[in-house]
Amino acid sequence: MRAFLILEDGTVFSGTSIGSAKEVISEIVFNTSMTGYLEVLTDPSYAGQAVVMTYPLIGNYGICHEDMESVRPWPDGYIVRELSRMPSNFRSEDSIQHFLESYDIPGIAGIDTRALTKILREKGTMNGMITTDEDYKLEEILPKIKAYSPSGVVRKVTCQEKYVLPGEGHRVALMDFGAKQNIARSLNERGCQVTVYPAYTAAEEILADAPDGIMLSNGPGDPKECTEIIAELKKLYETDVPIFAICLGHQLMALATGGDTYKMKYGHRGGNHPVKDLETGRVYISSQNHGYVVDTDSLDEKIAVPAFVNVNDKTNEGLAYTGKNIFTVQFHPEACPGPRDSSYLFDRFLKMMEVAR
């Protein structure tokens, strides 16, 4: 079945329908990872977006459910150059085609993803429609595409009630804004007892459980939309409980303490982004997935100072909070997919909790 990707600027790509045949309008973003497509599909940070994979062959090692980063895939749509129809891997349990169909996610294969990515890099992230309707009328659908805006996505992806992953060590409260499973797993593997809380949990409830540390997770959408969460983070900031934040959590803590964020032209999504630790001068290759960034010009150095910077475009990649047991990063130390260069940050968090005791 033929399918079409129609961008808000009127550009049309023609290909083959994969997954569900339903029509969808979404924000179109690209990911440069060469492997880890299942982890990308199951990353809740992609809620409200359709993902373009720049690597030309996707699906060759199939689907292994053990590698999923949440209970289901989250993108609105999936866009690839070539989809492998016959996966070859002893761990494979399913094909991407069937996986997408099972979760009613539409996609398109057979398009020039290199040309599409160049458009998104030059013009910036834009909305688009995936459709199998060959009789589409641009003049009717372009206003609808342009009007789309992802909203309410954190509430969509967060857990519905708190739950505990047992451990004998430090007690960590993980606020789930769309957390990848490897965040909790990385803490659990270090002996921590991890209690996962829904995104809109009141600060008082978290503090009443007397955690040794608080983890703020990744998640989707515009951080400025999360006004209720920001209000609770202001209360957590005022305590002496050690806090470690990743991605959306990093942005929300900056907003809670008077900083600002802005939308990037096309964001950082992939597994090859170099970040520099400003304290040591060492550079790490990181996994990233974000379209917003903290504006360092908005920071009060009495509250927070830059701790990491992106080597490519010099945007902020992390903050150290002055006089507080708080540090935050824009990238993903939990990886999945890799690289795992920055996993040591979890050990730094454990050290903070140990000292705070």
Determine whether 170 is an active site residue. Answer: no
**Dihedral sign of CA atoms 286, 290, 292, 298 in order:** negative
**In the structure encoding, which two tokens stand for residue 95, read together?**
């094909």
10 marked as part of a ligand binding site:
no
C-alpha distances out from residue 351 to 247, 304, 356, Å: 21, 20, 9
251 marked as part of a ligand binding site:
yes
219 marked as part of a ligand binding site:
yes
Q: Could you give the 3-state DSSP secondary structure of residue 353?
A: helix
User: What is the distance between the alpha carbons of residues 70 and 178, in angstroms, rounded to a whole number?
Assistant: 9
**Residue 76 burial class via C-beta count within 10 angstroms: exposed 0-12, middle 13-18, buried 19 and up:** buried
Determine whether 64 is an active site residue. Answer: no
291 marked as part of a ligand binding site:
yes
95 marked as part of a ligand binding site:
no
- Residue 27 pairs in a beta bridge with 49, 127
292 marked as part of a ligand binding site:
yes
- CB atoms < 10 A from the CB of 17, how many? 19
Determine whether 65 is an active site residue. Answer: no
Catalytic residue chosen out of the listed positions 192, 226, 247, 336: 247
Catalytic residue chosen out of the listed positions 170, 268, 332, 336: 332
N- to C-terminal Cα separation, the chain: 61
Residue 37 sits at the vertex; the CA angle it makes with 277 and 216, to the nearest 5 degrees, is 45
100 marked as part of a ligand binding site:
no
User: What is the distance between the alpha carbons of residues 174 and 100, in angstroms, rounded to a whole number?
Assistant: 29
User: What is the distance between the alpha carbons of residues 244 and 228, in angstroms, rounded to a whole number?
Assistant: 20
48 marked as part of a ligand binding site:
no
Q: Binding site: what residues are annotated? A: 45, 219, 221, 248, 251, 289, 291-292
Q: Which residues are catalytic?
A: 247, 332, 334
Q: Binding site for L-glutamine: what residues are annotated? A: 45, 219, 221, 248, 251, 289, 291-292
